[in-house]
Amino acid sequence: MTAAQPIIRLDQVTKAFGVGRSFTAVDRLDLDVGTGQMLALLGKTGCGKSTIFNMIAGLTEPTSGIVTVDGRNPFRDFDAFRGKIAIVFQNDRLLPWRTAVQNVGLGLEMLDIPPKLRNETAMHWLGKLGLLGHENDYPHALSGGMRQRVSIARAFATDANILLCDEPFSALDEMTGRTLRAEFLKLVKENGKTAVFITHSINEALEIGDRLVVLKRPATIALDVSLQRNCTIENKEAIRGRIQDVLAS
């Protein structure tokens, strides 16, 4: 897929941490993500994936360079992005004092959606993720997989057209992760979202992305491939081989 109008744009983005900004986590990164693209961002643990994620999400500001989402600065234009970006974190990050349905409704509350509609929407997404009957449970009473489902429902409920995911299934067991991944992929496609999906698993990246970007430490692009929709198994295996070479070197 050729990148349509880029909706997320990183231009020579650097992020440094520590005393005197001595540690460079992201180094002059250029990255464009087209509207409707499903980008899998792949790299080893500690290579700066979450740092990139936080900059796109507007949770941190780059040390230098420019990040734009939909033509705006996601860190500075705080209010402009309300309801525009939805996030699924690695851990579920549910508010322990809220029930499942109240957690799913959180983003809608920020958008001033009236309680009745909020509740209906939240229930709709809980239903989509197979959680009906658990809407009034508090997070501590749910299993890890169910909690991550609630957090996915929370991300979809606001109907933001940009979806950012930071290794959302890596804390789950193999089986649960696989089921949830398939459901998630279906939901993303059904709802025509632009998504950046961060992962350290080659399999997951190949399964989810229609474009794969492989990062090396400090975060710079080592490989950038697009997968055809009708990509053959041989093709995928060839790409897997290339990714493995890049990550090994």
Partner 1 sequence: MTMSEPQAAQEAAKARGAIWRRAFSYILPFIVVAGLWQIASRFFPPYLFPSLVDVFKRVFEILVTWDQLSDVLATIGRILAGLAGAFFIGAALAVVMARSQSANRFLSPILTLFQGIPALSWVVFAIIWFHGVEPRIFFIMVMTTLPSFTFQVLGALQGMSRDLTEMVMSFRPTRAKLFRVMIIPAILPDIMTAWKVNLGNASRVVVVAELVGATGGVGYELLQQQQVFDMAGALAWTLQLVFFVLIAQAVLTFIENIVFRYRAVSERTL
Ligand X SMILES: Nc1ncnc2c1ncn2[C@@H]1O[C@H](COP(=O)(O)OP(=O)(O)O)[C@@H](O)[C@H]1O
Output phi, psi for 193, to 5 deg. Answer: -95, 155
- Among 12, 21, 30, 46, interactor with ligand X by CB under 6 A: 46
How far apart CA 169 and CA 129 sit, in angstroms, is 15
How far apart CA 69 and CA 249 sit, in angstroms, is 32
Contact (Cβ atoms closer than 8 angstroms) between residue 111 and residue 99: no
To partner 1, the closest distance from the beta carbon of 81 in angstroms equals 6
Residue 208 half-sphere exposure toward CB, CA atoms < 13 A:
33
CB closer to partner 1 out of 33 and 239: 33
To partner 1, the closest distance from the beta carbon of 231 in angstroms equals 32
- Among 37, 50, 51, 54, interactor with Mg ion by CB under 5 A: 50
Contact (Cβ atoms closer than 8 angstroms) between residue 110 and residue 82: yes
* Strand ranges inside 152-246, DSSP E: 162-166, 194-199, 211-216, 220-226
125 binds partner 1 (CB under 8 A): no
Stretch that binds Mg ion, among 7-15, 50-58, 125-133, 152-160 (CB under 5 A): 50-58
Q: Interface residues for partner 1 in 132-151 (CB under 8 A)?
A: 138, 140-141
- Among 7, 47, 180, 205, interactor with ligand X by CB under 6 A: 47
DSSP 8-state class, residue 39 = E
Residues lying near partner 1 in the complex (CB under 8 A): 57-59, 78-79, 81-83, 85, 87, 89, 91, 93, 95-99, 106-107, 109-110, 138, 140-141, 158
Q: Which residues bind ligand X (CB under 6 A)?
A: 17-18, 25, 43, 45-51
